[in-house]
Amino acid sequence: MPQIYTTNFDDLIEQTFGDLKQPVLPVVLPKHIANSATTSTQVVKYHGDLRHDKTLVLTESSYYERLDFESPMDLKFRSDLLGRSVLFMGYSFQDINIRVIWFKLMDMMKDIPVNERPTSFILRLNSNPALERLYDEVGIKTIVLDPDKKAASNEEKASLLNDFMFTIATLASPNCKIAGQKDKTQFFSAALANLLSAELDQFEKGGPPTRFGRNSKSRRVPLALSDMLEVAGKRTIPAELQPIVRQIIDRCVAVNQKGNRQLPSDYIPLAISYSKTFGVDPLVTFVVASNLGRGNSREMILNDSVPWNNIWAAKLTPDQVGWILKKLESEIEAHEDNPQYGLDHDLAFIVDPVKRVLSGEIFESGNSETTRKANELVQRVAQLYPSVLNYTPTPSQRPDPSQIIQEIDEREAAMAPPEEPPDDEVPF
């Protein structure tokens, strides 16, 4: 099970788990240790808890009492550390209790070759070669967040920690599942939102990624914006971050509408996840409707568990519908004038939201100019594929323009050049 050891007395960690509605077990008293066989994350309060005065290790005499290392908490710590990797964060390894226990553990494992022991790590902001050498001698590798001391403000330092936490969480669980809870996903965090915003800034400027992860060979490699968006789409969005996530989706849409650089489709699952959590939103409706006419994006949408009742319940603006109509017109021209372009199924699927516009499902049809343009384009499609006139999308359901797809396939087959006979059958 996941375990967090802390020497703090407060309950901020437990409060955070509670806010996220995640199971957590504070371990403070001997009875907590006896009953700790659980899948909940354990928060082990090594120096006690303010809610239990007698557990607090505050005075010099308290430390001396603990130096026999036979208290239930010390025995648990020793047991938990044996054979496992540990990450020390926000901690200088100055605590005499923990330092001595660590030395005892190393002594217990002295007959095990160093390369066969689990490696533990300590996180530091800046480099200190002397300390790093000492840590290395006792089996602890140092991770330095800011080796060049570029972070000056507290915000910059916090950003480095956020980056690190995001990276290890992603690498530890590529499928974004919470450790010990196979059916629950990790949470979208404010730190991830900040990272995405920074990467979108960089993307708009045309620059390379600024964040980094590690591949299997432990070399630093760029963690692309598409990777970050993919991770974001797999995470659960807390209610507190709803406005921030919507803003990120809106930025992704705006970037693609500019047309200078096209974002990968990886922001679409984030939009769908947003709709699953928060319900009807015109922005998500536009994301889905405008991407049904793009092969890779459509595949991503149709393979996802889309809440179609939410998607088709919102009303689009005239500008949003106008953007979709431009996409449809572009597809029509490709099918009319340049068959070599490829008679793919993009046109069939983008007809679906246009039909929903005309039916009033996703658009207030009182706007005569927009409705007139949509009707005109549908008639042009019908000249190529008459089944378009009979296609009626099922309200609140997944698009299924199978009849139009069949006509496209038949037209493509009819336009295909005849197969040449094998060389040995060519008459001379």
3-state secondary structure the chain: CCEEEECCCCCHHHHHHHHCCCCEEEECCHHHHHCCCCCCEEEEECCCECCEHHHCCCCHHHHHHHCCCCCHHHHHHHHHHCCCCCEECCCCCCCHHHHHHHHHHHHHCCCCCHHHCCCEEEEECCCCHHHHHHHHHCCEEEEECCCCCCCCCHHHHHHHHHHHHHHHHHHHCCCCEECCEEEEECECCHHHHHHHHHHHHHHHHCCCCCCEEECCCCCEEECCHHHHHHHHHHCECCHHHHHHHHHHHHHHHHHHHHCCCCCCCCHHHHHHHHHHHHCCCHHHHHHHHHHCCCHHHHHHHHCCCCCHHHHCCCCCCHHHHHHHHHHHHHHHHHHHHCHHHCCCCHHHHHHHHHHHHHHCCCCCCCCHHHHHHHHHHHHHHHHHCHHHHHCCCCCCCCCCCHHHHHHHHHHHHHHCCCCCCCHHHCCC
Give the pLDDT score at 291.
94
Q: How far is CA 418 from CA 43, 206, 328, 409, 414, in A?
A: 71, 46, 30, 16, 9
Q: Pairing state of beta strands 87-88 and 24-27?
A: unpaired
From the CB of residue 215, how many other CB atoms can be counted at a distance below 10 Å? 10
Contacts of 118 (CB under 8 A, 6+ apart): 83, 84, 85
pLDDT score recorded for residue 424 = 62
Closest of 239, 247, 233, 399 to residue 312, by C-alpha? 399
* Interatomic CA distance for residues 269 and 284, integer angstroms: 10
Q: Is the dihedral of CA 382, 356, 394, 301 positive or negative?
A: positive
Alpha carbon of residue 335 to chain centroid: 37
Sign of CA dihedral 126, 127, 131, 137: positive
Each of the 428 residues of the chain gets a pLDDT tens digit; together they read 678 888 888 889 999 888 888 888 888 888 888 776 667 788 988 888 888 877 777 776 776 666 666 778 878 887 887 778 888 888 776 767 667 777 877 777 778 777 778 888 999 999 989 888 888 887 889 999 999 999 999 988 888 888 888 888 888 888 888 876 767 889 998 888 988 998 888 888 876 555 444 333 333 334 578 888 988 999 999 999 999 999 999 999 998 888 666 777 889 999 999 999 999 999 999 999 999 998 889 988 997 689 999 999 999 999 999 999 999 999 999 888 766 556 789 999 999 999 999 999 999 977 689 999 999 999 999 999 999 999 999 999 999 999 999 998 888 887 766 666 666 655 54
pLDDT in the model for residue 45: 87
The pair of three-digit structure tokens given for residue 227, joined into one six-digit string: 């990777």
pLDDT for res 326: 94
Residue 164 φ then ψ, to 5°: -60, -45
Determine the pLDDT at residue 325. Answer: 96
